[in-house]
Amino acid sequence: MPSRPDARAAVWRRNGGFALLVVLWTLVLIAFIVAHLTASGRTEIRIARNLVANAAADAATDGAISAAIFNQIDPNPDQRWPLNGPAREITVGHSRVTLQLEDEAGRINPSNASPALLEALLRITGSDAESAHRLAEAIGEWVGTAPDIVPQRAVATYRAAGLDYGPPGEPLETLDELGRVLGMTPVVLAAIRPHLTLFGPPQPNPASADPVVSAALAAVAQTVPAPVPQNQAPPELLTVRITATAFGADNARVKRTAIVRVGSSLPGGYMVLAWGGGFD
């Protein structure tokens, strides 16, 4: 039978072993908590850096667009950046920004273009002849340019198709609105959208039109030839699409577009028609 001191020693060893296990598990738990907090801290720091980088790039796009506007109203035409030329690069703060300037008059405005021009655009971008003709007429009804519009009949046609709305007979507010036109599909809209604008004249400028718009103009001219003015002076007012893409720290990338009308007759020499989005 063990003596009393030996019994006390055995109890102490058992208690000491248990205490050691508690200490070890506590250290493991503390190490886990520290590792978790460290990882969370690094993630939050990374998120904060990304937010700062994106904010700087975002501000750089606005600054670059402003620089392009003031370049376009420079009293010396030789100092102005050419439209529809190659992209140019400038530096704003710590961001590298590429700028693309385009003449907005080179696109087709569905709010005031002729049905024949819209039909030609639809055919060139892949619609068959019958669908293109029908859809061009439907767009004309929607924006109020189609001849002999009967609003009640147009609304009845939409009702018969199961739609609870009809053509407003007014210019478009956004290009997305074309998706509500009877017969329009996402595929067709995606095909014609890069060639459309809400801010162009009824007849696009052939000198700045892209190949698709040029082909549509040529197709219409074959049907109804239009006289081409010779030695025409450039318009006093220009509508310019400015697209800025900023590349900043931590792989930040921000793209913004503005549409601006410039001319000496405007207050300050320019008027912002759209900035940021909603018009593409």
Give the tens place of pLDDT for each residue, 34-74: 776 676 667 777 777 778 888 889 999 999 999 999 999 99
Q: Does the residue 130 lie in any domain?
A: yes
Same domain, 15 and 99: yes
Q: What is the pLDDT of residue 153?
A: 82
- On whether both 45 and 25 belong to a single domain, the answer is yes
CB of 66 closer than 8 Å to CB of 35: no
- pLDDT tens-digit series, residues 83-108: 999 999 999 988 999 999 999 999 99
**Residues 49, 133: one domain?**
no
Q: How far apart are CA 33 and CA 143, in angstroms?
A: 63
Query: Using N-to-C axis directions, what is the helix angle for 115-124 and 129-143, rounded to 10°?
Result: 140
**End residue of a domain, out of 169, 196, 223:** 196
Q: Are residues 21 and 70 in the same domain?
A: yes
Per-residue pLDDT, 226:
53
User: Residue 47: its pLDDT value, please?
Assistant: 76
Whether 132 and 81 map to the same domain: the answer is no
Domain span at residue 122 reads 115-196
Same domain, 94 and 16: yes
pLDDT of residue 200: 93
Q: Is residue 76 domain-shared with residue 144, that is, in the same domain?
A: no
84 and 122 in a single domain? The answer is no
Is residue 93 left, alpha or beta, with left meaning phi > 0 and alpha meaning psi from -120 to 50?
left
> How big is the CA angle at 225 (ends 223 and 229), to the nearest 5 degrees?
155
Answer yes or no: do 42 and 11 share one domain: yes
Report the side by side order of strands in the sheet with 253-262. Answer: 88-92, 95-103, 238-247, 253-262, 270-275
Q: Per this entry, what is the length of the chain?
A: 280
Answer whether residue 83 is part of any domain.
Answer: yes
Which of the residues in the chain have pLDDT under 70? 1-23, 36-37, 39-41, 149, 224-235, 277-280
pLDDT in the model for residue 231: 46
Q: Note the pLDDT of residue 222.
A: 82
Same domain, 2 and 49: yes
CB 125 within 8 A of CB 191: yes
Q: Based on the domain organization, do 70 and 33 belong to the same domain?
A: yes
pTM of the model: 0.77
Same domain, 12 and 91: yes
| pLDDT at site 230 | 44
pLDDT on residue 232: 45
Q: How many folded domains does the chain comprise? A: 2
CATH number at residue 173: 1.10.40.60
